[in-house]
Amino acid sequence: MPYPFHTLDVFTADRFSGNQLAVVMDASRLTSAQMQMIAREFAISETVFMLQPDNPAHSAKVRIFTPGQELPFAGHPTIGTAVLLAELQSQSNPGMDEAIIVLEESIGVVRIGVRRKSGEAAYAEFDTPKLPEVLSAPVSHDRMADALGLAPSEIGFENHRPTRYTAGVPYSFVPVRSLEAIARARMITPYWQGPFGSDGAYLYCRETVHTTAQFHARMFAPDLTMEDPATGSAAAAFAAVVHRFDDLKDGTRKLLIEQGYEMGRPSEIYLEVMVAGGLVRQVRIGGRAVRVSSGVLEV
C-alpha cells in the first residue's frame, strides 16, 4: 500500500545541512512494528508517522521513531512536522504567513507557532511540554573521558561539571574545555556503557565557530543514531544546565546553540529560558526547516 512521505532538513535554513527528518503521511494503517521497520529503512535520526488526532481540533497525532526505538518527544521532529503542515495548509490558503500547529505526541499536546516569509525558510517555535528535571549524578570524569577519547582534564570548564537532566528524554551533559577538544571527541564503544548507559551524551563548550552562538554542542547516542546533527530534546533539558551553572537571573534569556559542524551538517537551535523566583518556568525551542523531497513509500 502506498504512503506519501516528505523529507525535511531541520534547524537550518539551507538544504543538505541541519538534521534530516522523514514524515510519513496517513500512517494509521501501519503497525508499530512496520513503523520501526520504516524508520530503519530511512536510517536517519527520526521518522514521524502522521495519524488522525484524538481531538479533531488538533492538527495531527504523531509517533516519533529513531532507527532503534520510539521516542515520546523530540525537538526536530516537532519543528519539522509543524513547518510541513503549515506549508501544506498554505497551498489552499496562499496568504497564510503564520499558523498554529497542534501536535499530539506521546509526551502530551505540543503547540507550535510557525512563521513563513517569501524567500526564507519557515521558522517554528514551541514551549516544551515538560520542564527539565535533574537525574542522578553521572560517573567520574575519568570514565567519561575514556568513553569519549579525551583526557580527564578536558572534561569541565569554569564551574561547569557533568550532570544528568531530562525534559522527556534523558541526557548526560558533558562540558568540554575547548572547541578543539570537542572536535576530537569520539565514541569509544568498549567504555561507553559504564558512564552513559542508555543516555545520550551531550557535549558542549563555550567556545563557538560563530560569534552569534553562545554554545557549541555535539550529541552521541549509540542506541539511537550514533551522532546527531541537532538535538532539540537535549537543548530543552540543557536550559536547566545553563540555569544551574550560569546562575540565570529572573527574566528571559535567549541563546543560540550551534551543532552538527563536525558532521558537515551545521545546525542552529534557538533556546529561550524564562526564569522566575529563581526557577526555570518555561523553555522554548525554535528553529528553521526546509523541505527537501516528497515521494511515495510502498509497504
Q: What is the mean pLDDT of residues 172-195?
A: 96
Report in angstroms the alpha-carbon separations of 160 from 70, 174, 211, 250, 298: 31, 9, 21, 20, 49
Summarize the confidence of residues 262-280 as an average pLDDT: 98
Contacts of 152 (CB under 8 A, 6+ apart): 141, 142, 145
- Residue 93 in this model has a pLDDT that exceeds 80: no
pLDDT exceeds cutoff 90 at 118: no
Fold designation for 133-287: Diaminopimelate Epimerase; Chain A, domain 1 (3.10.310)
* The predicted structure's pLDDT at residue 117: 87
The pLDDT, as a whole number, for residue 108 is 95
Question: For position 154, what pLDDT does the model report?
Answer: 98
| Catalytic residue (choose from 46, 104, 105, 227) | 46
> Residue 166 in 3-state DSSP?
strand
Q: Is 46 a catalytic residue?
A: yes
Domain pair 2-126+288-298 / 133-287, same fold: yes
Every domain of the chain and the residues it spans? 2-126+288-298, 133-287
User: In the prediction, which pLDDT does 263 show?
Assistant: 95
| pLDDT beyond 80 at 200 | yes
| Burial of 93 from C-beta contacts in 10 A (0-12 / 13-18 / 19+) | exposed
Architecture of domain 2-126+288-298: Roll (3.10)
| pLDDT per residue as tens digits for the range 23-69 | 999 999 999 999 999 999 999 999 999 999 999 999 999 999 999 89
Which pLDDT tens digit goes with each residue over 133-176? 999 988 788 999 999 999 999 999 999 999 999 999 999 999 99
- pTM of the prediction? 0.95
Distance CA 174, CA 217 (A): 10
For the chain, the average pLDDT equals 95
In DSSP terms, 61 is beta-bridged to 51, 104
* DSSP state for residue 249 in the 8-state scheme: P
Q: What is the DSSP letter of 247?
A: T
Residue 96 confidence (pLDDT) above 70: no
pLDDT at 222: 80
Task: Give the amino acid at 248.
Answer: L
The number of C-alpha atoms within 13 Å of 62 and in the hemisphere containing its C-beta is: 33
Question: With contact defined as beta carbons under 8 Å apart, do 259 and 171 qualify?
Answer: no
The string of pLDDT tens digits covering residues 282-298 is: 999 999 999 999 999 99
Rounded alpha-carbon distances, angstroms, from residue 187 to 35, 150, 170, 200, 279: 28, 10, 18, 11, 34
